[in-house]
Structure 1
Amino acid sequence: MKSSLHSKVLAGVFSLFALPLAFAGDASQKFAKMDTNGDGQISRSEFLAGANQKFATMDANRDGVITAAELETKKSSTHGDKHRDDMSASSQLKLMDQNADGQVTTAEHNAHVEAVFAKMDTNQDGSLSKDELESGHEMKKKH
């Protein structure tokens, strides 16, 4: 049960915020864009910076929170009627909404991004290799 919850959280967070350059096209090129210092690894700070960039694009009214309506609008404008996953914006939001107030704050977002990073960092070296990043993406697609 705990593993299932972790997988759902990973899937929801990953699909929402974690990778602003998420594997649409050439994975090597996208990895290189996320690897801003060019060291061949995605550090925690690089991962968080990318996630924060994605959060900012979804926060349409710039109030520091994401609502289901903002998320749905962003998903629709980005993907039309074809979303990358089957989970509704409301369901995705609930995975990160720690206090169940119907919105995700920057703090809630960052806590979830940190959890996703920790889950994906399978060798616990504090950075993500290209393989770890791709494995996390594959895990998201299976759930």
Structure 2
Amino acid sequence: MHTTLRIAIAAAILMPAAAAFAGMDKFAEMDTDKDGRISQAEHTVGADKMFAKLDADNNGSVTAAEMDAAHAKWSDKNTAKADHAGHGKSMSSADKIAKIDSDGDGELTSAEHAEGAKDMFAKMDTDRDGNLTKDELEAGHRKEMADHR
């Protein structure tokens, strides 16, 4: 699969998941050392937390039903922001999973999700300094979703 498309789909999955952090700004939640930048390690931890929110039965994979249920739980304020930014409802959960489901089994494994998050980080790190600023994070998600709607 084309890497840019994989990144866009990962963004579509990760961005609504970020809204699940009970009113927390997604950047602030992932910037655990509060230095104003998200390192690759911080991004990985954030992506893992987001995956855990989606994996309701804790079996290491996410089905479309689990993703739909997680999306339904998130506050309408945060969901509206994610949808307005081009994330969330632009593609069905099953379609999102299919785009990065490397083994084609209809489920998103933690490894598949992690690979998508890694690719997305690299794409968003436009200055190649190994960190994401808030501007890079937001611009990266906007660009990927605008390019693949």
CA distance in 1, matches of 2:69, 2:26: 24
Aligned to 2:71: 75
Give 1:31 deviation, angstroms: 2.2
2:100 paired residue among 96, 99, 107? 96
**Which letter maps to 1:43?**
S
Give 1:47 deviation, angstroms: 0.8
How many percent identity over aligned positions? 36
Residue 40 of structure 1 aligns to a residue whose secondary structure is coil
Alpha-carbon distance change, 21 to 75 in structure 1, aligned in 2, over 3 angstroms: closer
Please report the TM-score for the alignment, with normalisation by the length of structure 1: 0.81
1:43 paired residue among 39, 44, 51? 39
Give the aligned length: 137
Contact 2:102-2:112 within 8 A present in 1 as well: yes
| Deviations 1:41-88, CA, capped at 9 Å, x for gaps | 100111111111110011111101111111122123326797633100
CA distance in 2, matches of 1:125, 1:77: 36
CA distance in 1, matches of 2:99, 2:34: 32
Aligned to 2:12: 15
Please report the TM-score for the alignment, with normalisation by the length of structure 2: 0.78
- Runs of 4+, deviation exceeding 4 Å: 79-83
Give 1:111 deviation, angstroms: 0.8
The yes-or-no answer on 1:34 pairing with 2:38 is: no
Query: Cα RMSD (Å) of the superposition?
Result: 2.8
Residue 62 of structure 2 aligns to a residue whose secondary structure is strand
